[in-house]
Amino acid sequence: MKFPRNAKLLRGTFDTAPFAAVLFLLVMFLLLSVLLPVPGVSLNLPEAENLPGTDKPTVAVAIDSVGRLFFSDQLVTEDELQRRLRRAVAGSRSALAIVIQADKSVTYGQLLRVVLLAHDAGIHEALLATLPRVVVAPRQP
């Protein structure tokens, strides 16, 4: 049996309303996802290059521009930070190093205070977290 070949699949009127609705929903979804806050501490780290690292296990402490201390993405006081650092040292099999993620506007005194808290807790190596320096390559003709 031979079927007729005069099927008119896409020969009707093209309705753009559903496509516009889907496009509108996609734009709204993208705009809302951009506006949602990102969890974590907002820091403006300084740039540097060729700094030494460590082969020891590390714990990280963040200091924001206001001077608040964060440990494990939680706001802590200096006393709470020292208790948590002591627990981390007690739970570690080897010597720990502390990585301080400090905003550019943090003073030297605030950095020194965190280093001394870590030293009192039993951590004797402190490192400062930085961003890699951006180098713009010259254009070649």
Q: Is there a domain that residue 25 lies in?
A: no
Domain span at residue 67?
A: 47-132
The count of domains in the chain is 1
Q: Is there a domain that residue 3 lies in?
A: no
Q: Is there a domain that residue 10 lies in?
A: no
Please tell me the distance from the alpha carbon of residue 10 to that of residue 74, in angstroms, as a whole number.
58
Q: Is there a domain that residue 62 lies in?
A: yes
User: From the CA atom positions of the chain, what is the Rg in Å?
Assistant: 28
Q: Is there a domain that residue 110 lies in?
A: yes
CATH (domain of 126): 3.30.420.270
Rounded to two decimals, what is the model's pTM?
Answer: 0.66
What separation in angstroms does the CA of 34 have from each of 21, 23, 27? 20, 17, 11
Q: Is there a domain that residue 85 lies in?
A: yes
- Rounded average pLDDT per 10-residue block, the chain, 141 residues: 63 79 94 80 77 86 92 91 94 92 91 94 90 74 66
Please tell me the distance from the alpha carbon of residue 96 to that of residue 123, in angstroms, as a whole number.
6
Neighbours of 50 (CB within 10 A): 6
